[in-house]
Structure 1
Amino acid sequence: MDELDRSIMGLLGADARMSVATLARRLKVARSTIQARLERLETTGIIAGYTLKLGENARQGRLRASVLLTIEPRAQAGILTRLKAIAEVERAYTTSGRFDLLLQIAAPSTQVLDQVLDQIGALTGVLSSESLIHLSTRIDRAV
């Protein structure tokens, strides 16, 4: 991956709907060059897809939380299988340090969030959990 690839991904990260012609114009290269680069980035798996990034207005009415889990040794596979069945669990990350898993949760109300947190805490193999409710987004550079 070179500087042109990184520039293409940076522009698409800001606006995934940007046309190939606009990318070529902004980067001052031929449209065919951009098209070839995009095809290579897609076939090599560097670009896995194009997506919609919701703004704050679309996220209103949804509570978000991070949940840190400490789990029993060798329980991770079973816990992850059960977490996949909980629709409010958007992402699960393995971590280093004090906690074993970090979950990203989104729920429509405090009642639903409370139920989900109880459900996660009751999973076999979960030793402890700590929840952090997201209040406002100050920086968002996620691509």
Structure 2
Amino acid sequence: MQLDETDSQLLSLLGENARAPVATLARKLGLARTTVQARIERLETSGAIAGYTLRLGDAARPRLRATALISIELRAGPTVLDRLKSLPAVESVHTCSGRFDLIVQLAADSTAELDDTLDNIGEAKGVKSSESLIHLSTKLDRPRG
């Protein structure tokens, strides 16, 4: 099927908002509503429009989660904790035994925010080293009842 200029404009408008009312599309194209409806049906039948989809906005996207394992210098705990408290992406901080001193749970709205937070942790005074683990998928989540 060969698309004409009107079809291209219609597809562009549908690309911006696939839920736009046919009357609105018709007004923008300067055509009758029935003409636009017939064009949409023809584009669907021919396969030019394969379907419609949903694009989630930032408010509906799940937050990125990560765990940072931190080694700190001797007696630097209060300084590091103050720094961690100042970072909005830090949800919780736990002391732990083993190779690391702190376990930090993080949640961010974007990879850029997560990256900045991890940089801020690594650059904090009193932090010797850190390792980050990005959460990919949840296999088990037992809420307390």
Instruction: Provide the TM-score with structure 2 as the length reference.
Output: 0.57
Q: Quick one: distance in 1 between partners of 2:100 and 2:140?
A: 24
Unaligned runs of 5+ in 1: 1-57
Q: Quick one: distance in 2 between partners of 1:138 and 1:124?
A: 36
Q: Displacement, 1:59? A: 7.7
Q: Within 5 A, what are the aligned runs for 1:1-143?
A: 60-143=61-144
CA radius of gyration, larger in: 2
SS in 2 for 1:81: helix
Q: Quick one: distance in 2 between partners of 1:105 and 1:86?
A: 10
| Deviations 1:107-141 (CA, angstroms, capped at 9, x unpaired) | 01111110000001000000000000000111111
Paired positions, count: 86
Q: Displacement, 1:81? A: 1.1
| Deviations 1:78-98 (CA, angstroms, capped at 9, x unpaired) | 111111111100000000000
| Deviations 1:27-65 (CA, angstroms, capped at 9, x unpaired) | xxxxxxxxxxxxxxxxxxxxxxxxxxxxxxx98431100
Q: Quick one: distance in 2 between partners of 1:90 and 1:79?
A: 15
Q: Quick one: distance in 2 between partners of 1:108 and 1:69?
A: 22
CA RMSD in angstroms, aligned pairs only: 1.5
Q: Quick one: distance in 2 between partners of 1:60 and 1:74?
A: 39
Runs of 4+ with deviation above 4 angstroms: none
